[in-house]
Structure formats: C-alpha cells, structure tokens
C-alpha cells in the first residue's frame, strides 16, 4: 500500500457529512472490527439484490477486502443498530491516463442505502464526504463503475471510458487478419490465477482508463475463491510467444443450447493480451470453437481491433455502454499527468458544485505532448489561447480522451471562444487510443 493509500484508509470521516447526518440522528463512522465488517457486508449484499451471505462467503469477503476503507451510517434507533443503513467503500488505486502514466484515484464502490432510509440524503453525505476526504489528502481523481447511469453526474463524475458489449455469430464472422504467431493452450484455473496479475500490471499503463486491479478480481475470474459459484464452468487458456513467455490470457464459459446443440453460447469473461499476436490468437481461438453459435463478450473497447479482423462485420452486434466514471479532484495534478494530442494553450474556467476543482487554469501543451498547468485570474487569457468554460463533470468526461470536446460543445455542455476553438481544444485533449476499463468494481 502506498503512503497515500494508507493515509486514505485511516483518515477520519468527513466532519461536514458527519454533522449533517448527526442532525438527523444518524452516526457516520469507519467500519473497523471483523463483526462490523461482516454486518456491513450483509447490508451491501442486500443493497445489491444478493442473497444473505453464508459464513463461508463472509470469511471470503473479509479476507479479500482488507484494502478497502469502509464507511457506514448507523441509525441507533433501528432494531438492529449494528447493521449500517448506508455504506460506501473506497481505496486508492492507480488509474492509467493517456500517454502511459498513472494517477492515484479514489476508487469508490459499495454505495448502498437501506430501502427504509432512502431519499433522505444519506448517499449524498457518504459520496461527498469521501470525495472531500480524498481531495484533502491530495488524491487527484476519483472513479467508479455504476449500477444506474444517472446517479453520479451530480457529484462531478462522468462516463469517461465507455465500453462495448458484443454478440458475434462465429459461423458467419470469418477472419481477415494475418495468422497469429505463438501457441494457445488450456491451463488449470489455479495457474491462470497465478499468471493474470503480472500480465495485467504490464498491460494496464498503456490502456487509458484501466485501474490497478485488486487481487480479489483474479480469484473471481478464475473461480478460485472458496465461495465461487459455477467455478467448474470456467475454462482457462494462455497464449505464449516463440520464447515461451505468456503474452495473453483468456477465461470463458460455455452454455449449451438445448434446442440446437451446435449453436451453443460461449461467453468471454476476460481476455487480456500484451501483444497483437496474443490478441489475435485468443480471439481466433474463441471464434473457432466448435458447436458455438454465439460468442458474447463485454467491457471491450469502443475501438476494438477485433472488428477489423472479421470478414463480415455484420456478424457482430456491438452495443456501447457507459462504464468507467471519473471525477477530477485536483485539476493541475490530474492534467499534468496525462499527455495530449496536439500542442496549444487552453484557458480553462472550471465550475464545481462541490467547490473542490473549481478555478481558472492555463494548460500549455508543448510539441512533445506534455502539458503544464498554472492557476490564473479569470480575466487573464493570453493571446492565441482558446478559452474553455466547462463544469467538472465535462472536464472529467474529456480527461481520458474518450469524448471529443467538440462533441461536448455541440451538445451544449462546453463553451469555447473564437472560431474553431472547440476543434482546437478537441485536438489537444483528444487521444489516439480509446480509454477502457476491463472489469467492474
């Protein structure tokens, strides 16, 4: 755990949110002991429509979630006062940004409020409180994946990295890409679980929008958790290059079609590739599986090379889905971390309903794509700069290069100065690789 992550984990709860909730007889506090964590875990399961957790599941969750800071809201007047009526989890993890660098991000998860206590501002107090705490510690961005799209824009989050869900008819798709080098083999799930973290560590800096993954993710994907459901369905595969180095990993499941056995369904749970050969070989393996009439995959990029490997692009039905939500907390630190698509100068006027990221900033990008950021007064705009007035939600939307500023301007969400200002700002803030996050958290 980095020093920043340790400080975030141990920080006191936000005083403003605590006072707001206390005025309603509610207690905001850190969830600490094993018994508290188990009670919290049961409430989160209920909040996400899951069944009550068994002792085995509680043990598995507790063992795998120590990295998470857990905060609960308690109602002392409730019949079970030890069960929180509101929950949130947060931890600091590296978020990849355009250009190969990473920034620390407050990853937010497990936001639930008991149906008995909804629509009284408890979720707002929890989310705002954790954002203020992270910002006060110097965490430059926050991020999350969502159950419902409309929830987090009000706090400054935007869908910065969309992904795609695919349904492919492999019997129609064909293949027009070169034959990939290397070999593909089945491996035991336990072996896959050992290999995955290191491969992800190598791949993720080059994928804007990807987040350092908790160890628990690999157990879930490989079915190696003691409480795993349907683990026996999971098939694990590796790709190795000519030197025998593992360059790609795949886990998938198959569901028989009782009406037509030869048109069963294969679902790609996770496909990770470090090289073009590994990427092509693993996709080709999936598309060539016998007895499969449909291949499903999700959390793929909006600009997936796979589309250009298919002889018949209409064999693939592709749906774009909002996925990784990002919220800038510290404008200069966040903007200085990424690289830019073109040189130039932007005068940014940023508004923020929570006040955290509001201000006037000058972003100067050199020919090498690196940016420097200075605070400026609102009327100080150098000649040649494009003035961009936007909310923190729109800044966050454009942060990873996943949406063009020209598109946001055309949608009326961003205002730019001068003829062609939106296009120049779009070239600067744009990036050649679509951002993506490969999992949910």
- Which residues sit at the interface with ligand ACO, rule CB under 6 A? 47-48, 108-113, 118-124, 144, 146-148, 150-151, 154
At 384 the three-state DSSP class reads: coil
- Distance (Å, whole) CA 427 – CA 343: 9
Reference 267, options 360, 167, 397; nearest CA is: 167
Q: Is the dihedral of CA 252, 258, 259, 260 positive or negative?
A: positive
Q: Closer to ligand ACO at the Cβ: 217 or 286?
A: 217
The active-site residue out of 40, 74, 325, 441 is: 441
Q: Is 279 a catalytic residue?
A: no
- Work out how close the CB of 112 gets to ligand ACO at its nearest, in angstroms, rounded to a whole number: 4
Q: Helix, strand, or coil here: 43?
A: helix
Q: What's the rounded Cα separation, in Å, for the pair 172 and 195?
A: 33
The residue from 40, 74, 152, 279 that is catalytic is: 152
Residue closer to ligand ACO by CB (options 88, 388) is: 88
Of 114 and 347, the one with the shorter C-beta distance to ligand ACO is: 114
The smaller minimum CB distance to ligand ACO, of residues 239 and 324, is found at 324
Rounded to the nearest angstrom, the gap between the alpha carbon of residue 379 and the centroid of all alpha carbons in its chain is 36
Q: Which is nearer to ligand ACO, 93 or 203 (CB)?
A: 93
What are the residues facing 103 on neighbouring strands? 95
CB atoms within 10 A of CB 35: 10
Q: How is 259-327 classified by DSSP, letter by letter? A: S-GGGEEEEEEEEEESSHHHHHHHHHHHHT-TTEEEEEEEEE-TT-GGGGG-S-GGGEEEEEEEEEEEE
State residue 435 phi and psi, 5-degree precision: -70, 155
* Active site (annotated) includes residue 152: yes
Binding-site positions for acetyl-CoA: 111-113, 119-124, 147-148
Beta carbons of 76 and 85 less than 8 angstroms apart: no
Given a contact cutoff of 8 angstroms between Cβ atoms, the answer to whether 386 and 417 are in contact is yes
From its phi and psi, is residue 373 left (phi > 0), alpha (psi between -120 and 50) or beta? Answer: beta
Give the span between the Cα atoms of 139 and 147, in whole angstroms.
Answer: 24
Name which of 272, 264, 250 is nearest 203 in CA terms: 272
Measure the CA–CA gap between 218 and 428, rounded to whole angstroms.
36
Shortest separation between residue 128's beta carbon and ligand ACO, angstroms: 9
Task: For 40, list phi and psi in degrees, rounded to 5.
Answer: -60, -45
Pairing of strands 86-96, 102-113: antiparallel
Cα distances (Å, whole numbers) of residue 345 to 298, 348, 366: 37, 10, 9
Which residue's CB is nearer to ligand ACO, number 47 or number 430?
47
Q: How far is the CB of 109 from ligand ACO (least distance, A)?
A: 5
Best CA proximity match to 306, nearest among 288, 287, 290, 324: 287
Smallest separation, CB 394 to ligand ACO (Å)? 17
Query: Which of 327, 436 has the CB closer to ligand ACO?
Result: 327
Q: How far is the CB of 110 from ligand ACO (least distance, A)?
A: 5
Q: Are strands 264-273 and 292-300 parallel, antiparallel or unpaired?
A: parallel
Q: Residue 98 Cβ, how far from ligand ACO at the closest point, in Å? A: 24
- In the complex, least distance from residue 362 CB atom to ligand ACO, rounded to whole angstroms: 32
Catalytic residue numbers, as ranges? 152, 441
């Amino acid at each position: 755990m980095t020093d920043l992550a340790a400080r975030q984990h141990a920080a006191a709860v936000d005083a403003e949110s605590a006072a707001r909730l206390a005025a309603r007889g509610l207690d905001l506090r850190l969830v600490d002991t094993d018994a508290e964590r188990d009670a919290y875990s049961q409430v989160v399961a209920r909040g996400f429509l899951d069944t009550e957790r068994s002792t085995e599941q509680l043990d598995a969750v507790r063992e795998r979630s120590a990295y998470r800071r857990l905060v609960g809201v308690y109602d002392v007047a409730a019949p079970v006062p030890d069960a929180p009526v509101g929950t949130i989890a947060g931890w600091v993890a590296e978020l990849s940004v355009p250009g190969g660098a990473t920034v620390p991000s407050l990853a937010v998860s497990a936001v639930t409020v008991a149906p008995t206590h909804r629509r009284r501002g408890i979720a707002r107090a929890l989310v705002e409180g954790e954002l203020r705490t992270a910002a006060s510690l110097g965490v430059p961005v926050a991020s999350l994946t969502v159950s419902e799209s409309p929830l987090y824009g009000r706090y400054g989050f935007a869908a910065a990295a969309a992904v795609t869900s695919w349904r492919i008819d492999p019997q129609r798709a064909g293949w027009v890409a070169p034959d990939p080098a290397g070999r593909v083999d089945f491996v035991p799930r336990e072996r896959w679980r050992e290999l995955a973290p290191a491969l992800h560590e190598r791949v993720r800096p080059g994928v804007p929008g990807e987040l350092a993954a908790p160890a628990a993710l690999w157990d879930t994907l490989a079915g190696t958790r003691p409480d795993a459901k349907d683990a026996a369905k999971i098939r694990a595969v590796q790709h190795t290059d000519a030197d025998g180095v593992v360059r790609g990993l795949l886990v998938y499941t198959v569901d028989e079609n009782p009406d037509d056995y030869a048109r069963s369904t294969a679902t790609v749970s996770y496909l990770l590739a470090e090289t073009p050969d590994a990427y092509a070989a693993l996709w080709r393996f999936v598309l060539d599986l016998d007895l499969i009439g449909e291949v499903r995959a999700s959390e793929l990029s909006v600009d997936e090379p796979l589309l250009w490997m298919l002889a018949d692009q209409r064999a693939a039905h592709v749906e774009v889905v909002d996925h990784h939500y990002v919220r800038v907390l510290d404008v200069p630190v966040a903007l200085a971390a990424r690289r830019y698509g073109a040189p130039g100068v932007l005068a940014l006027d940023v508004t923020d309903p929570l006040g955290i990221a509001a201000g006037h900033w000058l972003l100067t990008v050199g020919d090498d794509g690196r940016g420097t950021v200075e605070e400026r007064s609102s009327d100080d705009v150098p000649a040649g700069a494009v003035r961009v007035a936007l909310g923190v939600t729109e800044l966050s939307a454009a942060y990873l290069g996943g949406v063009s500023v020209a598109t946001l301007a055309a949608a009326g969400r961003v205002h730019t100065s001068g003829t062609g200002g939106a296009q120049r700002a779009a070239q600067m803030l744009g990036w050649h690789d679509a951002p993506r996050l490969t999992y949910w958290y």
